[in-house]
Amino acid sequence: MNCPQHLIDRVSRLVRLQDYAHFLSFHYGKLPVYLCGSAMLDSNMNPRDWDLAIEMFDEVFEERFKIKIAEWAVDTGQLWGAEMAMMSRKGWDMTKLNIDFQLCPLSWAKEKFKGKKKMKLSISW
C-alpha cells in the first residue's frame, strides 16, 4: 500500500521546518522556536508562508538590537530588520519554503500571540 503524495508532502515540510527550527534554536541560545500565523489555521492546508518566531527576554532583546521595546514596536530599526531578512533567507535556503522569521521581545509576543495557536518546532534542550 502506497502512502498518498499529499501526506508525504506534509511530512516532508514538517521535517524541513523542524530542521530549520533546530538550527535557529541553537543559533539563538537554545530558545524554543514556534510555528505561528496563518499556517496554524485549520483552513490553511497550503500556506503561502511559514511564520517562525522565537520569544526572547526583553532585556536580552534590547541589548542585542540596541533598541528599547517601545521604540522597536514603532520602528523595528535596521539592525533587527537586516537580521530577520537574513535568517528568513537562510530558512528558504535550508527548507525551500517561504519562511518569515521573527525574533520577538517576550512582552510583545505574549500580547501578539495571546489566544492564537502556535506549535513548538524545536527540541527541548
pLDDT means per 10 residues, the chain with 125 residues, are 74 90 94 91 83 95 92 85 95 95 94 89 74
Query: Considering the domain boundaries, does residue 125 fall inside one?
Result: no
- The CATH code of the domain that includes 87 is 3.30.460
Q: Nearest Cα to 28, choosing from 100, 99, 102, 117? A: 102
What secondary structure does DSSP assign to 44-72, as a single string? -SS-SSEEEEEEE-HHHHHHHHTS-HHHH
Output the pLDDT for position 13: 86
Which is nearest to 117 in space by CA: 66, 53, 29, 70?
53
Nearest to 72 by CA among 36, 109, 38: 109
- Kindly state the DSSP code that residue 39 receives in the 8-state scheme: G
Say what the pLDDT of residue 124 is.
62
Residue among 31, 80, 76 nearest 53 (CA) = 31
- Could you give the number of structural domains in the chain? 1
Query: Which among 99, 101, 95, 65 is positioned nearest to 80, based on CA atoms?
Result: 65
Assigned domain for 114 exists: yes
65: containing domain: 5-120
Q: Let me know if residue 16 belongs to a domain.
A: yes
* pTM summary value: 0.86
